[in-house]
């Protein structure tokens, strides 16, 4: 979900604005590993949105969450107890996903600039100048790995918080 929001906001609002890659060089939009303040903000906003939805679901359907009870129901913890924490976890997950995606993209995903169309491409070929990355991972693989790693890190952080707080 966060990558959709990041992609949409970046495409709609930046147009042809430049971004920086992980080596802090100005690069063309669309080059793998590129980052921009707007893209980072969109990733954080997407994470916050997911956290807010989690909070809303916790309030609307507390019985669906193990150990949670409706207010006055006598369960383990009150519905809505993790509200701000859910949003913070979402923001952390969005930041982790953005960072891991950029690092994988700039190192293990090929990016080049096509001379004739002057556009970013993800495969080597004639008339393409390599910008960064090795041709190891596809865009789908980078997205999957960054989402999985961000979910794992966020889950570990949540587990650690609950186990310490319990």
Residue 115 · residue 129 · CB < 8 Å: yes
| SS3 state at 69 | strand
Read off φ and ψ for residue 84, nearest 5 degrees: -65, -35
Scanning the structure block, which residue is given the tokens 């006598």? Answer: 74
Can you give the pTM of this predicted structure? 0.74
In tens digits, the chain (166 residues) has pLDDT values of 444 555 555 555 555 455 665 566 777 777 778 787 888 888 899 999 998 988 888 777 766 666 555 554 444 455 556 678 888 999 999 999 999 998 998 899 998 888 887 788 888 889 998 888 899 999 899 999 999 999 999 999 988 876 665 4
> How far apart are the C-alpha atoms of 57 and 67, rounded to whole Å?
15
DSSP of 73-138, one letter per residue?
A: S--SEETTTTHHHHHHHHHHHHHHHHHHHHHHHHHHS-EEEETTT--EESS--TTEEEEE--TTS-
Kindly state the tokens that stand for 26: 């100005």
């Amino acid at each position: 979900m966060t990558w959709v929001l990041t992609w949409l906001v970046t495409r709609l609002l930046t147009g042809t604005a430049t971004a920086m890659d992980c080596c802090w060089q100005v690069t063309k939009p669309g080059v793998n590993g590129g980052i921009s303040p707007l893209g980072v903000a969109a990733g954080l906003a997407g994470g916050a949105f997911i956290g807010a939805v989690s909070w809303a679901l916790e309030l609307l359907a507390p019985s669906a969450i193990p150990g949670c009870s409706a207010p006055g129901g006598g369960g383990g913890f009150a519905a809505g107890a993790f509200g701000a924490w859910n949003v913070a976890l979402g923001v952390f997950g969005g930041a982790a996903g953005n960072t891991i995606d950029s690092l994988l993209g700039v190192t293990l995903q090929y990016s080049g600039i096509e001379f004739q169309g002057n556009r970013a491409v993800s495969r080597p070929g004639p008339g393409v100048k390599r910008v960064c990355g090795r041709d190891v991972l596809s865009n789908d693989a980078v997205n999957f790995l960054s989402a999985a790693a961000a979910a794992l890190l966020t889950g570990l952080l949540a587990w650690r918080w609950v186990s310490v707080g319990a």
